[in-house]
């Protein structure tokens, strides 16, 4: 069997991911872990935004729901493996309930409903002190043990997060390639044609949104044991916007877009530390310019550049409209 | 009872200012299908223009005039030319992202280059209180209401009684046909952006004395403007007016009678209920679905 360059590339990426934390300080490993976590959240949003074409502004709220459920259950003594599916399913269910009314109407109403939802979730997390600890948050959230493999130290935790990430990425690859995923794409490219081919467009969009929210639940379930302390301020609207920008900057609708976008959003502040408070200004200006020149994000920009250099067939311009006499 | 009247009046006053922002929001939507997620920051920024001009020694009236001019120039003309125009061919989604980024840019710039603390903003109207049926009603509330209504009435008259206004309406209703009939569509869309900027500036100058001038003001204001526009009806100016007033009153009532902790939740719940039972809004007419 000959290994095609594509598989070699996959293996190289995997090796790079496995080797990344070795010999690094605790802080770098922490940053890498949060990159993995935000990649999972952004991947989910990419399904909603890039494949189904709907804007969700509540990804951070779903992460918050996942994180709080995980924190409360693991602090009550249940194992993380039990809490995690619970977090995902809750987010999936809430996504269905929230998306159903919003997707009855068009014009990006989901964006507004999710905007309102994110603020509501923040209010509940802050005000219901008996459950969520209010603005003091929940502490200390235990890190899980797997049959003697303790994730208490930073590097083992990275490998635990990496396994979750790879499982999520695999699930996403499967969803995107399955008939479902193709239906999502059809929906984005031409909703009227998709509808006329017998796709239940509303149901498909709703499912895309709910599955995307479920991914955010997983990201939240990974985040709670990483930071070991969660408070409502980590799940506000600005964080949802951050995840949205990850997807868009990387390239929405591209499978690898969210990974790239999350890397930029999570790692760039470290690189641009010398700019101090101006970091967000630079970043926002960069997104504006990127949107004006390449609405498909960095991957779209890359493809545009490659198309310019790659040899390509050019139609004879005199025959463009068919042979005319 | 007197308490109730007080709450209603101050709610209407705040609501009329929300309505200004919401009207601008619906105008942009009608004219160019732009959903402006930076609308809250559009209302936050002009107050800082006023403070900046006054910091240079200008009297209040001059500072307000400068702020109005700067807003129309930057938030109207420059926003349209530099951001909206190049992006319109790509559809609504990139534009939504771009306005989100723009809002972030404006907020962070004010925070870094002006101040992260709330700045006191001089009151425009006398801070006296009059007694009506035993209720203490502040003059500023009544003046806010009057100025906002005057602005919206002027806009309505302009749109319905002048030739330019009618051309703008035609553009909003059907771009293609308007162009065929000889309307300069591009210019009409530009006018809409200028009007939106002016409305945002008026709202900013009216509302900032109530709070402090702070970089994060736009977050709540933007959300309220969206909700007002959707609750009232996305495609109607009077819808945005009704929506704004309703939100203002409900906000105040819930803060007083329910709980101040969940004050911000009442408009959000109203939004979700409206989308479920009457998605076109209270005053709106339903548009055809694309799918």
> From the CB of residue B112, how many other CB atoms can be counted at a distance below 10 Å?
16
Is pLDDT of A271 > 80? Answer: no
**Rg of chain A over all Cα atoms, to the nearest angstrom:** 21
pLDDT for the residue B287: 61
CB pair distance less than 8 Å for B86 and A292: yes
DSSP B136: E
A301: buried, middle or exposed (CB in 10 Å: 19+, 13-18, 0-12)? middle
Q: Which two tokens stand for residue A246?
A: 């990850």
Q: If you average pLDDT over residues A209-213, what whole number do you get?
A: 94
Residue B108 belongs to domain spanning: 19-217
Q: If you average pLDDT over residues A204-220, what whole number do you get?
A: 93
- CA-CA-CA-CA torsion sign (B102, B103, B109, B110): positive
Q: If you average pLDDT over residues B178-200, what whole number do you get?
A: 92
Q: Dump pLDDT digits (tens) for A3-49.
A: 577 788 888 888 888 888 888 888 889 989 999 999 999 999 999 88
CB pair distance less than 8 Å for A288 and B105: yes
pLDDT for the residue B2: 80
Could you say which residues from 20 to 59 on chain B have a Cβ atom under 8 Å away from some Cβ of chain A? 35
Torsion angle defined by CA atoms of residues B31, A289, A58 and A124, in that order, rounded to the nearest 10 degrees: -100
Q: Which residue of A has its CA nearest to B90?
A: A295
Residues of chain B above pLDDT 90, percent: 38
pLDDT for the residue A321: 60
pLDDT for the residue A306: 85
pLDDT for the residue B104: 87
Interface residue A269 vs chain B (CB under 8 A)? no
Interface residue A105 vs chain B (CB under 8 A)? yes
pLDDT for the residue A318: 62
- Choice between A163 and A307, residue whose per-residue pLDDT is larger: A163
User: How many CB pairs below 8 A link A and B?
Assistant: 115
Interface residue A289 vs chain B (CB under 8 A)? no
Which stretches within chain A are classed as H helix? Answer: 5-19, 26-46, 59-75, 80-102, 109-127, 129-132, 154-177, 179-189, 191-196, 201-227, 237-250, 257-271, 279-293, 297-309
pLDDT for the residue A195: 84
Interface residue A227 vs chain B (CB under 8 A)? no
Tell me the pLDDT of chain A averaged across its residues. 86
CB pair distance less than 8 Å for A295 and B94: yes
Residue A230 and residue B165: Cα distance in Å, rounded? 53
Residue A202 and residue A307: Cα distance in Å, rounded? 35
pLDDT for the residue A315: 64
pLDDT for the residue A3: 56
Interface residue B77 vs chain A (CB under 8 A)? no
pLDDT for the residue A316: 63
> Which of A101, A251, A288 to mutate against chain B (most B CBs within 10 Å)?
A288
Pairing state between β A149-150 and B135-138:
unpaired
Distance from CA of B101 to the nearest CA of A (A): 5
Interface residue A199 vs chain B (CB under 8 A)? no
> From the CB of residue B68, how many other CB atoms can be counted at a distance below 10 Å?
19
Judge contact between A37 and A226, C-beta under 8 A. Answer: yes
Could you say which residues from 134 to 173 on chain A have a Cβ atom under 8 Å away from some Cβ of chain B? none
Judge contact between A63 and A230, C-beta under 8 A. Answer: no
**What ipTM did this prediction achieve?**
0.78
CB pair distance less than 8 Å for A284 and B104: yes
Distance from CA of A313 to the nearest CA of B (A): 25
Confidence of residue A2 (pLDDT cuts 50, 70, 90): low
Interface residue B219 vs chain A (CB under 8 A)? yes
Residue B46 makes CB contacts below 8 A (sequence gap 6+) with B67, B68, B70, B71, B75, B200, B201, B204, B205
Could you say which residues from 242 to 261 on chain B have a Cβ atom under 8 Å away from some Cβ of chain A? 261
Is pLDDT of A293 > 90? Answer: no
pLDDT for the residue B291: 40
Domain count, chain B: 1
Choose the closest CB to B98 out of A109, A281, A291: A291
Q: Dump pLDDT digits (tens) for B121-150.
A: 888 888 788 887 777 888 888 899 999 999
Q: Dump pLDDT digits (tens) for A182-200.
A: 888 887 778 788 888 888 8
Evaluate whether residue B181 is within a structural domain. Answer: yes
Residues of chain A above pLDDT 90, percent: 31
pLDDT for the residue B153: 92
Is pLDDT of B53 > 50? Answer: yes
* DSSP-derived secondary structure for A209-246: HHHHHHHHHHHHHHHHHHHS-B-GGGGSHHHHHHHHHH
Tell me the pLDDT of chain B averaged across its residues. 87
pLDDT for the residue A105: 66
Interface residue B108 vs chain A (CB under 8 A)? yes
Residue A66 and residue A217: Cα distance in Å, rounded? 4
Q: Which residue of B has its CA nearest to A118?
A: B268
Residue B193 and residue B200: Cα distance in Å, rounded? 11
pLDDT for the residue B290: 43
Distance from CA of A129 to the nearest CA of B (A): 12
pLDDT for the residue B286: 66
pLDDT for the residue B271: 84
CB pair distance less than 8 Å for B291 and A201: yes
Q: Dump pLDDT digits (tens) for A107-119.
A: 567 887 888 889 8
pLDDT for the residue A141: 87
Interface residue B88 vs chain A (CB under 8 A)? no
Q: If you average pLDDT over residues A140-158, what whole number do you get?
A: 85
Q: If you average pLDDT over residues A263-287, what whole number do you get?
A: 80
CB pair distance less than 8 Å for B291 and A112: no
CB pair distance less than 8 Å for B87 and A107: no
- Find, among B161, B169, B173, the residue nearest to B188 by Cα: B169
pLDDT for the residue B196: 94
pLDDT for the residue B68: 94
Q: Whole-model pTM? A: 0.84
- Choice between A224 and A19, residue whose per-residue pLDDT is larger: A224
Q: Dump pLDDT digits (tens) for B152-169.
A: 999 999 998 999 999 998
Q: Which residue of B has its CA nearest to A116?
A: B268
A260: buried, middle or exposed (CB in 10 Å: 19+, 13-18, 0-12)? buried
B contacts of A284 (beta carbons < 8 Å): 101-102, 104-105, 108
């Amino acid at each position: 069997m000959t290994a095609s360059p594509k598989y070699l590339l996959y293996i190289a990426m995997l090796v790079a991911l496995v080797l990344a934390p070795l010999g690094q300080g605790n802080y770098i490993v922490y940053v890498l872990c949060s990159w993995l976590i935000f990649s999972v959240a952004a991947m989910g949003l990419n399904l909603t935004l890039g494949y189904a074409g709907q804007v969700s502004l509540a990804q951070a709220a779903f992460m918050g729901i996942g994180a709080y459920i995980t924190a409360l259950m693991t602090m009550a003594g249940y194992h993380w493996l039990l809490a995690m599916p619970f977090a995902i399913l809750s987010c999936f269910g809430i996504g269905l309930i929230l998306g159903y009314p919003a997707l009855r109407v068009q014009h990006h109403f989901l964006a507004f409903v999710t905007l309102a939802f994110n603020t509501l979730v923040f209010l509940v997390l802050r005000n219901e002190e008996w459950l969520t600890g209010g603005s003091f948050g929940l502490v200390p959230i235990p890190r899980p043990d797997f049959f003697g493999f303790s994730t208490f130290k930073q590097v083992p935790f990275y490998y635990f997060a990496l396994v979750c990430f790879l499982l999520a990425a695999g699930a996403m690859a499967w969803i995107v390639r399955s008939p479902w995923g193709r239906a999502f794409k059809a929906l984005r490219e031409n909703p009227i044609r998709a509808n006329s081919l017998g796709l239940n467009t509303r149901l498909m969009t709703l499912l895309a949104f709910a599955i995307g929210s479920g991914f955010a639940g997983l990201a939240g379930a990974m985040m709670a044991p990483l930071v070991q302390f969660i408070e409502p301020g980590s799940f506000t609207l600005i964080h949802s916007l951050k995840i949205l920008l990850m997807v868009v900057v990387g390239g929405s609708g591209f499978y690898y877009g969210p990974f790239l976008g999350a890397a930029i959003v999570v790692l760039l502040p470290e690189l641009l530390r010398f700019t101090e408070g101006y970091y967000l200004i630079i970043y926002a200006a960069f997104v504006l310019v990127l949107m004006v020149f390449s609405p498909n994000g960095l991957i779209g920009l890359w493809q545009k550049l490659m198309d310019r250099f790659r040899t390509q067939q050019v139609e004879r311009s005199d025959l463009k409209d068919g042979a005319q006499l | 009872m007197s308490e109730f009247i007080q709450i209603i009046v101050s709610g209407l006053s705040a609501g009329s200012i929300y309505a200004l922002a919401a009207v601008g929001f619906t105008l942009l939507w009608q004219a160019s299908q732009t959903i402006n997620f930076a609308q809250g920051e559009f209302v936050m920024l002009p107050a800082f223009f006023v403070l900046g001009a006054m910091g240079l020694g200008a009297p209040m009236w001059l500072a307000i005039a400068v702020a109005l001019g700067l807003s129309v120039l930057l938030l109207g003309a420059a926003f349209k030319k530099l951001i909206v125009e190049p992006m319109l061919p790509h559809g609504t989604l990139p534009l939504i992202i771009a306005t989100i980024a723009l809002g972030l840019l404006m907020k962070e710039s004010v925070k870094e280059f002006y101040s992260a603390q709330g700045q006191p903003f001089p009151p425009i109207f006398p801070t006296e209180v009059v007694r009506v049926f035993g209720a203490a009603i502040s003059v500023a509330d009544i003046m806010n209401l009057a100025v906002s209504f005057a602005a919206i009435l002027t806009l309505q008259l302009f749109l319905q009684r002048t030739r330019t206004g009618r051309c703008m309406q035609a553009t909003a209703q059907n771009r293609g046909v308007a162009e065929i009939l000889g309307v300069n569509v591009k210019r009409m869309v530009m006018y809409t952006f200028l009007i939106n900027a002016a409305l945002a500036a008026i709202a900013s100058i009216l509302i900032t004395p109530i709070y402090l001038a702070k970089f994060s003001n736009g977050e709540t204001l933007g959300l309220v403007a969206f909700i007002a526009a959707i609750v009232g009806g996305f495609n109607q100016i009077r819808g945005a007016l009704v929506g704004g007033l309703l939100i203002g009153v409900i906000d105040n009532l819930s803060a007083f009678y329910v709980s101040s902790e969940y004050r911000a939740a009442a408009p959000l719940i109203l939004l979700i209920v409206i989308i479920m039972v009457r998605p076109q809004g209270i005053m709106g007419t339903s548009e055809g679905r694309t799918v």
